[in-house]
């Protein structure tokens, strides 16, 4: 996948000393439109139509107060790479999603207490406010930050059960496969055993319409693209888990044959013998052979998916394997 060409809007301002609350008003307005601050009075947004309009309103407010302001468009921002800027945008939006999820959970108030003391009409008003906050964050989430799915799950829990999940429940809540349909899943080039398994799992258990693409780092992704098995992404290595194990955990996939497959992948990917699956050496040889046979990453990944499907089917029909992994 070719690296996208970015264009940036840069707002630079100088504010008058009066009115004294102007600086706070402008700062809040720039926060609301999702701008990244690079220095005290230099703010950046991606060059979209909505962003131009947002900066236009801020510009008018500053000029009306007697300040000075310029809005420029550039292909690069001095001292910052595109990847660094994208990562800053994602970091800010992820923090906002996490803060909203915490508010939905009741900011630490036990859900049972909140249910007894809160009238249904008040809960509905509060729920509507949370939806509006989510919509506002999404409007300024230009680069598909992590965390949105957790907020949506928390909102569904409120709608379905009449209460927000507690903190422990939220940490263990599962993602809905339906929320990940019609997406492009992006991973590193030259896929290997873990990425084969991830792509297979995604297409078989999460989204049968999933398509795959490749990038050098997650900062180059566009909205509705989901990174996996890349550094510092939601569906990557976490703790002692490889990426396919993370996907299984997040989507609540507990199939015995999938578990057996994931143990083969775990030991091969992490170069361990934790599970000592007897099938691992042969699968490792097959993976090496595929990587040597196909120079095209998309073709390589598709063949890897076929191998994982074959491995899964062999485990699914072998009761001895299921018994072994259940111990």
> Using one digit for the tens of pLDDT, what is the confidence trace for 31-82?
889 999 987 789 999 999 889 999 999 999 999 999 999 999 999 898 888 8
* Contact of 102 with 130, CB cutoff 8 Å: no
Query: d(Cα 183, Cα 203) in Å, to the nearest integer?
Result: 11
Q: pLDDT grade, residue 98 (50/70/90)?
A: confident
**pLDDT at site 112:** 41
Query: d(Cα 171, Cα 105) in Å, to the nearest integer?
Result: 11
Kindly list the distances between the CA atom of residue 75 and the CA atoms of 6, 46, 72, 79, 211, in Å, as whole numbers in the listed order: 6, 10, 10, 13, 29
Domain 8-74 has CATH 3.40.250.10: no
* Contact of 204 with 177, CB cutoff 8 Å: no
What order do you get walking across the sheet with 36-39 strand by strand?
36-39, 42-46, 8-14, 68-74
Q: pLDDT grade, residue 233 (50/70/90)?
A: confident
Query: d(Cα 106, Cα 100) in Å, to the nearest integer?
Result: 10
Query: d(Cα 243, Cα 237) in Å, to the nearest integer?
Result: 5
> Using one digit for the tens of pLDDT, what is the confidence trace for 291-309?
999 999 999 999 999 999 9
Kindly list the distances between the CA atom of residue 154 and the CA atoms of 114, 131, 160, 176, 224, in Å, as whole numbers in the listed order: 15, 11, 10, 12, 20
- Write out the DSSP string of 218-238: GGG--TTEEEBSSTT-TBS-B
Which segments of the chain belong to CATH 3.30.70.240?
A: 8-74
**pLDDT at site 193:** 97
């Amino acid at each position: 996948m070719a690296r996208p060409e970015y264009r940036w809007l840069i707002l630079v301002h100088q504010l008058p000393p009066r009115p004294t609350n102007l600086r706070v008003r402008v700062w809040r307005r720039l926060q609301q439109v999702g701008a990244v601050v690079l220095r005290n009075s230099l703010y950046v947004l991606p060059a979209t139509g909505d962003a131009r309009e947002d900066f236009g309103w801020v510009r008018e407010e500053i000029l009306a107060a007697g300040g000075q302001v310029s809005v420029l468009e550039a292909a690069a921002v001095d001292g910052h790479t595109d990847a660094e800027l994208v990562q800053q945008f994602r970091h800010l939006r992820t923090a906002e999603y996490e803060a909203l999820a915490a508010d939905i959970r009741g900011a630490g108030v036990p859900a049972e207490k909140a249910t007894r003391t809160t009238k249904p009409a008040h809960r509905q008003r509060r729920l509507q406010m949370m939806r509006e906050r989510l919509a506002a964050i999404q409007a300024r989430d230009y680069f598909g930050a992590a965390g949105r799915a957790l907020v949506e799950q928390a909102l569904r829990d409120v709608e379905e059960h009449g209460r927000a999940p507690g903190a422990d429940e939220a940490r263990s809540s599962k993602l809905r496969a339906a929320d990940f349909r019609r997406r492009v899943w992006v991973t590193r080039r030259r896929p290997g055993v873990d990425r084969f398994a991830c792509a297979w799992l995604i297409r078989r258990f999460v989204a049968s319409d999933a398509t795959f693409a490749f990038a050098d780092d997650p900062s180059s992704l566009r909205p509705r693209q989901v990174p996996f098995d890349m550094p510092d992404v939601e569906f990557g290595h976490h703790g002692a888990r490889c990426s396919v194990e993370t996907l299984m955990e997040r989507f609540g996939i507990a199939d015995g044959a999938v578990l057996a497959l994931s143990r083969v992948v775990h030991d091969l990917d992490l170069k361990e013998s934790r599970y000592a699956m007897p099938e691992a050496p042969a699968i490792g040889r097959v993976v090496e052979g595929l990587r040597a046979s196909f120079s095209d990453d998309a073709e390589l990944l598709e063949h890897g998916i076929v191998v994982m499907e074959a491995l899964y089917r062999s485990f699914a029909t072998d009761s001895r394997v299921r018994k072994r992994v259940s111990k």
